[in-house]
Amino acid sequence: MRFSFTPEQEEFRSSLRRALEARSPTKEVRRLMATDQGFERDGWQKLNQELGLTAIHIPEAYGGGGFGQADLAIVLEEMGRGLLCAPFLSTVLAANAILNAGTEEQKSALLPAIASGEKTAALAFSEDDGRNDAEGVAMTATQSGAAWRLEGTKSFVLDGHTADLIVVLARRPGSQGEDGLSFFTVDGNSPGLERKRLKTMDETRKLARLTFNSVEARLLGEAGAAAAPFARTLQQAAVLLANEMVGGAERLREDALAYTKMRMQFGRSIASFQTTKNKAADMLVDVELAKSAAYYAAAALDEGDDDLPAIASLAKACAAEAYLQTAIHAVQMHGGIGFTWDNDTHLWFKRAKSSEILFGDANQHRELMMQHWKH
């Protein structure tokens, strides 16, 4: 399963691609990215419910489809390709955190509304310094009776300004590193929670800064035991994002190739020049290698691979470099028109850039990969 998809998966992918092409043409992407919300609730709910997208990886016991992370990865690849403006990645990451950390009771209470698409969700772990690890968590959670209160700031929260439910990572006052970390859930409209949308370079990806002033929160899972589920959630995030990236990279590559075939200069198509052909061949190599890494890692998520921490970082670093390089080549192959706002290339270029950085850049993931490399 790490090297090929089943006929059912291929069929799912093509129907998804058709749906996204119909519902989310670039014109629609441009319209939605210019809105404050970044998506339209009705349109997204309709698409989500028709295709059961946020339900895919949620077990049937919690109202989901009972499929794996590898199936989820297919959805992300297609969304990366179509640049769909929807709070999908944010919601599935939050659902993963709930699956990784939550009790049976909490999963039963929280996941059905996510699976059905009734609620969107976000995962808040980074703070103002943008770190993606336990060390970077300064937000405190204090208990008074049965209630917990959160104090501090979360930033770079994917779709944090619109999410109905927010999964927050905080720590016991005075604790450090992986010690004392807990996950909490908070309603998006909780008193004391200030949500500010940040202006983003990649307008298709909305980020928010959330300020918690003694916000009442519900503990998710066991107090002080979030380090392991957080690490796993981050590995899943890296792999899912890698799959989203290869979808976008392939789209850019195909569009740039098609453009070179129709663009005439010096009396011939620029696709006939070896300098263009060499670049196109290199782009194919970059994208195919990154696809192999992303697919392999997605399968590893479901198969409980001991090497997952290394493989997840490998896939993220590989896809990040490939997507950005493809985007750079794609702008170059378009020439002047590729640098204009009206040409669509910059939409994916910016997505490549935001994906490169989100959840840790290639340098960080290469270092993580080396720390976990067993061979």
Partner 1 sequence: MSQSTMSEPTESYVRAEVRSWLEANWNPEYGLVEWRTKLIESGWGAPHWPRQWYGRGLPVHFAAIVDEEFARIGAVGVAKAGIRTLAAATILDHGTDLHKEKFLRRILTGEDTWCQLFSEPGSGSDMAGAVTRADRRGNKWAINGQKVWTTSAHKAHWGLLLARANWDVPKHKGLAYFILDMKQPGVQVHPLKQMNGHASFNQVFFTDAMVEPEMMVCDVGDGWTVATTTLMHERRGADGLRSWAQASNRQGRIYEEEKAEIASTMEPYKWYPQRAGRVDLVMERTRATGKIKDPVIRQEIAKLLIMSKAAEWTARRARAAQEQGRPQGPEGSLGKLVSSHVARQAARVHTYITGADALLAGEDSPMGGVIAEILVSVPATSIAGGTDEIQRNIISERVLKMPKEPSVDTIKPFKDVPRNVAASS
Looking at the Cβ atoms of 94 and 293, the one nearer to partner 1 is 293
Q: Which of 130, 285, 303, 340 binds partner 1 (CB under 8 A)?
A: 285
Taken in order 334, 335, 338, 340, the sign of the CA dihedral is: negative
As a residue count, the chain comes to 375
What's the CA gap between 3 and 13, in Å, rounded? Answer: 16
Q: Which of 290, 301, 333, 358 binds partner 1 (CB under 8 A)?
A: 290
| Closest C-alpha among 287, 286, 301, 295 to residue 315 | 295
What's the CA gap between 9 and 152, in Å, rounded? Answer: 43
Task: Please report whether residue 222 would count as binding partner 1 according to CB under 8 A.
Answer: no
How far apart are the two ends of the chain, measured CA to CA in Å? 22
Q: Which of 264, 281, 335, 340 binds partner 1 (CB under 8 A)?
A: 281
Q: Which of 34, 264, 337, 370 binds partner 1 (CB under 8 A)?
A: 370
What's the CA gap between 136 and 287, in Å, rounded? Answer: 32
Task: Please report whether residue 277 would count as binding partner 1 according to CB under 8 A.
Answer: yes
Q: Which of 278, 335, 337, 340 binds partner 1 (CB under 8 A)?
A: 278
Looking at the Cβ atoms of 118 and 367, the one nearer to partner 1 is 367
> Per-residue DSSP letters for 77-142?
HHHHHHT--SSHHHHHHHHHHHHHH--HHHHHHHHHHHHHTS--EEEE---TT---SGGG---EEE
Instruction: Report the C-alpha dihedral over residues 271, 272, 275, 281, rounded to 10 degrees.
Output: 60
Quick note: the x/- pattern for partner 1 over 294-323, rule CB under 8 A, is -xx-----------------x--xx-----
Task: Please report whether residue 144 would count as binding partner 1 according to CB under 8 A.
Answer: no
Quick note: the x/- pattern for partner 1 over 250-269, rule CB under 8 A, is -------x--xx------xx
Q: Which of 284, 302, 343, 357 binds partner 1 (CB under 8 A)?
A: 284
Q: In the complex, which residues of this chain contact partner 1 (CB under 8 A)?
A: 2-4, 257, 260-261, 268-269, 271-274, 276-278, 280-282, 284-285, 288-293, 295-296, 314, 317-318, 363, 366-367, 369-370, 373, 375
